């Protein structure tokens, strides 16, 4: 909006809540949503609207180090011009934020940092409403029937649904008016959970802006809210190669295969399972097998790699993922592996607790080329798909 710059429009972004229903030790707005935090997504959306000259971010003191770490990881948002300290209540936090808005501001949009899906359309509409009517608050139609209760959990009234709406943020006002409402509420020790209620009490009627996009302008409250927007799948690949030597057993996908040579390595040197483990760890961004099972560790000398695969499945599980399907390719000139494929697949399926239809093992030669073709070694490649486990 080309007028945006000269009408002195500011945002106050409130991120000082405790977010206890989110069930994480950190502020929910720091949670990464498909690789970018809820807070940065929210600030991105405000910035992209082109409507604001700047924003005041309201944070609790305890979250300042977390915010600095977030800026180091995801980039410092240019829109944020000042940080205000969170208060004991949301109302106090908003007041602290409003106090840092420059005196020349005409319009202020008070927004929950936990609503990262706000659109430029909503922002434009509430600002235009505030310009004309003094206020503009996004409201979504309610789909459930709402009951008014007495103190004992008994319904005493059923307001007609078409006259109800669920209000959201950004709640947008002429700056002088909302500041006056806040100051009067402070003086009267009046508390409310939203700014529109203060405006209603001390200034006048609040204009609700209802648009279809409001349905997606949700407030991230629980893990369920973020899972709905997160891609549940991730993929990874793995590669490994080991030297063929005399006097060692040849083990591939947990099957011992009769052959004149075997693979050299610290563990049983099961190159196929090693590639597979790296694919699984890679999909979960958990590094590689060298990190988890260093070959300097005596515990892993001669160990069956299938036992390490068990551990990888557990690591995935702890990180909130489960394997979906895997595909392994063994590159060996000799011996012929075809007859061992069914048991190889079974071994892997059992360890990963997957149906056999979700595990594929195949083998190829290189027609005599390279170290595999010349029989110096065997290599393997793997791909894995993992999914976020359903939360209960
Ligand atoms: Mg290896």
* Chain segment 322-358, per-residue pLDDT in tens: 999 999 999 999 999 999 999 999 999 999 999 999 9
Phi, psi of 306 (to 5 degrees): -65, -35
Q: How far is the CA of 58 from the centre of ligand 1 (A)?
A: 50
CA atoms within 13 A on the CB side of 169: 25
Q: How far is the CA of 269 from the centre of ligand 1 (A)?
A: 6
Residue 128: alpha-carbon gap to chain centroid: 33
Distance CA 111, CA 130 (A): 14
Token reading at 10: 């500011």
Separation of first and last alpha carbons in the chain = 44
pTM of the prediction? 0.71
Q: How far is the CA of 348 from the centre of ligand 1 (A)?
A: 17
Residue 222, pLDDT score:
86
Residues lying with their CB under 5 A of ligand 1, a single-atom ion: 240, 274
Boundaries of every domain in the chain: 9-227, 233-388
Q: How far is the CA of 307 from the centre of ligand 1 (A)?
A: 14
Percentage of the chain exceeding pLDDT 70: 97
Q: Does residue 6 register a pLDDT over 60?
A: no
From 134, 107, 116, select the one nearest 37 (Cα to Cα).
116
- Report domain 233-388's class: alpha beta
Q: How far is the CA of 22 from the centre of ligand 1 (A)?
A: 40
Q: How far is the CA of 29 from the centre of ligand 1 (A)?
A: 40
Residue 303: alpha-carbon gap to chain centroid: 36
Q: How far is the CA of 313 from the centre of ligand 1 (A)?
A: 17
Helices 38-48, 120-133: crossing angle, 10 deg rounding: 60
Percentage of the chain exceeding pLDDT 90: 84
Residue 91, pLDDT score:
96
Q: Does residue 42 register a pLDDT over 90?
A: yes
Q: How far is the CA of 239 from the centre of ligand 1 (A)?
A: 9
Distance CA 283, CA 324 (A): 11
Q: How far is the CA of 301 from the centre of ligand 1 (A)?
A: 12
Q: Does residue 299 register a pLDDT over 70?
A: yes
Q: How far is the CA of 121 from the centre of ligand 1 (A)?
A: 54
Q: What fold, for 9-227? A: Spore Coat Polysaccharide Biosynthesis Protein SpsA; Chain A (3.90.550)
* Chain segment 74-126, per-residue pLDDT in tens: 999 999 999 999 999 999 999 999 999 998 999 999 999 999 999 999 999 99
Residue 160, pLDDT score:
93
Residue 7, pLDDT score:
60
Q: How far is the CA of 291 from the centre of ligand 1 (A)?
A: 12
Mean pLDDT of the 135-155 span? 93
Residues 6+ apart with CB under 8 A from 271: 240, 241, 242, 252, 263, 265, 330, 378, 379, 380
Q: Cis ω on the peptide bond leading into residue 86 (within 30° of 0)?
A: no
Pairing label, strands 9-14, 107-112: parallel
Q: How far is the CA of 270 from the centre of ligand 1 (A)?
A: 7
Q: How far is the CA of 264 from the centre of ligand 1 (A)?
A: 9
DSSP string, 309-374: HHHHHHHHHHTTEEEEEEEEEEE-SSS--GGGHHHHHHHHHHHHT--GGGEEEEEE--TT-HHHHT
Geometric angle at alpha carbon 340, from 300 and 236, rounded to 5°: 55
134: alpha, beta or left, given left = phi > 0 and alpha = psi -120 to 50? Answer: left
Q: How far is the CA of 305 from the centre of ligand 1 (A)?
A: 9
Q: Cis ω on the peptide bond leading into residue 220 (within 30° of 0)?
A: no
Residue 158: alpha-carbon gap to chain centroid: 38
Domains 9-227 and 233-388 equal at CATH topology level: no
Distance CA 16, CA 61 (A): 9
Residue 392, pLDDT score:
39
Residue 277: alpha-carbon gap to chain centroid: 24
Q: How far is the CA of 295 from the centre of ligand 1 (A)?
A: 9
Q: How far is the CA of 286 from the centre of ligand 1 (A)?
A: 17
């Amino acid at each position: 909006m080309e007028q945006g710059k000269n009408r002195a429009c500011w945002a106050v972004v409130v991120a000082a809540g405790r977010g206890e229903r989110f069930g994480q030790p950190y502020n929910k707005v720091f949670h990464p949503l498909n690789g970018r935090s809820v807070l940065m997504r929210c600030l991105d959306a405000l910035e992209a609207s082109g409507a604001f000259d700047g924003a005041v971010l309201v944070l609790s003191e305890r979250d300042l180090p977390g915010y600095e770490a977030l800026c180091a990881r995801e980039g410092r948002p240019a829109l944020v011009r000042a940080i205000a300290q969170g208060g004991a209540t949301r109302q106090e936090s908003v007041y602290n934020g409003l106090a840092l808005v420059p005196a020349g501001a005409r319009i202020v949009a008070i927004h929950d940092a936990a609503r990262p899906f706000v659109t430029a359309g909503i922002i434009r509409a509430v600002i235009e409403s505030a310009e004309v009517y003094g206020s503009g608050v996004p409201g979504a139609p309610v789909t459930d029937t709402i009951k008014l209760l007495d103190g004992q959990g008994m319904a005493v009234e059923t307001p007609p649904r078409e006259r109800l709406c669920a209000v959201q943020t950004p709640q947008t006002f002429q700056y002088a008016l909302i500041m006056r409402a806040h100051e009067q509420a402070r003086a009267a020790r009046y508390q409310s959970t939203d700014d529109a209620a203060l405006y209603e009490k001390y200034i006048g009627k609040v204009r609700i802006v209802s648009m279809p996009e409001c349905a997606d302008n949700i407030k991230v409250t629980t893990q369920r809210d973020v899972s709905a927007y997160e891609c549940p799948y991730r993929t990874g690949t793995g590669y490994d190669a080991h030297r063929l030597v005399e006097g060692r057993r040849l083990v591939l996908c947990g099957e011992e295969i009769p052959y004149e040579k075997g693979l050299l390595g610290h563990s049983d040197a099961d190159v196929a399972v090693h590639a597979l483990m790296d694919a699984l760890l890679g999909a979960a961004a958990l590094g590689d097998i060298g990190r988890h099972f260093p070959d300097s560790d005596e515990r892993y000398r001669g160990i069956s790699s299938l036992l390490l695969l068990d551990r990888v499945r557990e690591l995935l599980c702890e990180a909130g993922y489960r394997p979906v399907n895997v595909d392994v390719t063994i590159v060996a000139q000799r011996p012929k592996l075809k007859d061992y494929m069914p048991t190889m697949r079974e071994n892997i399926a059992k360890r990963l607790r997957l149906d056999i239809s979700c595990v594929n093992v195949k083998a190829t030669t290189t027609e005599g080329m390279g170290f595999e073709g010349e029989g110096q070694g065997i290599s393997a490649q793997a791909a894995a798909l993992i999914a976020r486990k359903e939360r209960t």
